[in-house]
Amino acid sequence: MLNKIKEHIAEVEAFTATSKDEIEQFRIKYLSKKGLLNDFFAEFKNVPNEQKKEYGQTINKLKTAAQEKVDTLKATLEAEEEIKGVYGDLSRPGEPIELGSRHPISIVKNKITEIFSRIGFNVSEGPEIEDDWHNFTALNLPEHHPARDMQDTFFVQTDPDIMLRTHTSTVQVRYMENNKPPIRTISPGRVYRNEAISARSHCFFHQVEGLYVDKGVSFADLKQTLQYFTTELFGKSKIRLRPSYFPFTEPSAEVDVYWGLETETDYKMTKGTGWLEIMGCGMVDPNVLKNCGIDPEVYSGFAFGMGIDRIALLLHQIPDIRMLSENDMRFLQQFKSVL
Ligand code: PHE
């Protein structure tokens, strides 16, 4: 009998439970009216006198062990439940963290700045709300100059001197006013024009302007730089420069890159010519250098400007420029894997 009780003590000490039910079963088994302990107590009178002492001590030990077990198991379980109530199940796996994506405009902007940084260009920025001097006058577009109409401008109604910049050439002016040659900088940013919104054009879009001013900068340097750029960005090295006009450059040119005519998409994109117009460029007009405090007798420079949005449409085959500003998650999520 004594050994049996000792076995029970070992069993009680080893017992664990994960639910209130299990603890209750355990309590009933040992401590209830019909429980084992009462049976053992009832046996007491039949135990020979000389064993009574040890027998009594052993069942008492079993009783205490069972009671303590019930108490501690209950306490632990309740504490766990309380934590669950406050924090939920602490052992569950963490919330899946969604991978973010960059906006296609940022992707293309970063690519362009990276390509130019490799040949020594830094990045400069300027304000989106500009004055007449930086958007027009300093860029060889004095008041009433007909070329001001090339870019439909949003003016701030109360002050005709203040406007939303129509191009990032404004940063070119600011940079030359504040820095001495040699200057090698590119200026990405948002620009605004009062144009009808369609699949191909928007009233705001993004440009990157490039500027290089130093002694002896030539048109050949410009062409070489642009060729390096198109090779790096598009993997296409064949370019052509068509004579064009910008008030702030002389001579000026439009840059076309030869895209090819391999696929049906190539035909569509290039309207069957194989050529894509990607930017404007030219040698900085001596008047502009003068306006910005640089001596055109000593220095010369080239500048170029391109639309980031258009390049993003080309590179990612996006059919409508408006998608770039709608913030539709279904669209943006497709750029997750692009850095
Ligand atoms: N600023 C011109 C535009 O917005 C682009 C350009 C920049 C052309 C620099 C030549 C040189 O159309």
Answer yes or no: is the C-beta of 169 below 6 A from any ligand 1 atom.
Answer: yes
Task: Quickly count: other Cβ atoms within 10 Å of residue 308's Cβ.
Answer: 25
Q: What is the pTM of this model?
A: 0.72
- For the residues 217-228, what does the mean pLDDT come to? 97
**Of 165, 164, 169, 209, which Cα lies nearest the Cα of 187?**
209
Query: Which run of H or of E encompasses 146?
Result: none
- pLDDT value at residue 2: 80
Q: In percent, how much of the chain has pLDDT > 70?
A: 99
Mean pLDDT value of segment 263-274: 89
CB 282 within 8 A of CB 255: no
- Whether 285 contacts 248, CB under 8 Å: yes
Which residues are CB-contacts of 293 (< 8 A; sequence separation ≥ 6)? 176, 177
Ligand 1 midpoint to CA 284 (Å): 11
- Listing DSSP states for 170-204 in one string gives HHHHHHHHH-PSSEEEEEEEEEE------SS--SE
Q: Is the CB of 185 under 6 A from ligand 1?
A: no
Measured at the CA of 72, the angle between CA 71 and CA 74, to 5 degrees, comes to 65
Does the pLDDT at position 172 exceed 90? yes
Quote the DSSP letter at residue 327. Answer: -
Q: What is the pLDDT of residue 282?
A: 97
Question: CA of 156: how far to CAs of 130, 152, 161, 165, in Å?
Answer: 10, 13, 8, 11
Residue labelled with tokens 């030219």:
282
Structure-model confidence comparison of residues 117 and 20, the more confident one: 117
Greater confidence (208 vs 157) lies with 208
Residue 90 has pLDDT above 80, yes or no: no
Does residue 124's CB lie within 6 angstroms of at least one atom of ligand 1?
A: no
Q: What is the pLDDT of residues 42-85, one digit of tens each?
A: 888 888 888 888 888 988 998 898 899 989 989 888 888 888 77
pLDDT tens across 175-190, in order?
999 999 999 999 999 9
State the DSSP H helix or E strand holding residue 241, giving kind and residue range, or none if neither. strand 239-246
User: What does the buried/exposed string (b/e) look like for 206-239 if buried means 16 or more CB atoms within 10 Å of the residue's CB?
Assistant: bbbbbbbbeeebeeebbbebbbebbebbbebeeb
What residue owns the CA closest to ligand 1's atom 6?
Answer: 305
Q: How confident is the model at residue 339 (pLDDT cuts 50, 70, 90)?
A: low
Question: What value does the mean pLDDT of the chain take?
Answer: 91
Q: What is the per-residue DSSP string for 117-129?
A: HTTT-EE----SE
Q: How far is the CA of 230 from the centre of ligand 1 (A)?
A: 17
Decide if pLDDT at 239 tops 70. Answer: yes
Q: Which tops the pLDDT comparison, 149 or 5?
A: 5
If one residue of 223, 248, 306 were mutated to test the ligand 1 pocket, choosing by the most ligand atoms within 8 A of its CB, it would be 248
What percent of the chain stands above pLDDT 90?
Answer: 58
Among the ranges 149-153, 208-212, 268-272, which has the highest mean pLDDT value? 208-212
Å from CA of 264 to ligand 1 middle: 31
Q: Name residue 327's amino acid.
A: N
Question: What is the radius of gyration, based on Cα positions, of the chain?
Answer: 40
In this structure, what are the phi and psi dihedrals at residue 214, rounded to the nearest 5 degrees?
A: -165, -175
Binding site, annotated residues for Mg(2+) = 250
**Could you tell me how far CA 135 lies from the centroid of its own chain?**
31
Write out the H or E segment, with its range, that includes residue 72: helix 49-87
Alpha-carbon gap, residue 228 to 158, rounded angstroms: 45
Whether the per-residue pLDDT at 264 is higher than 70: the answer is: yes
- Report CA-CA distances (Å) from 5 to 29, 46, 237: 14, 15, 93
Q: Is there an atom of ligand 1 within 6 Å of 281 CB?
A: yes
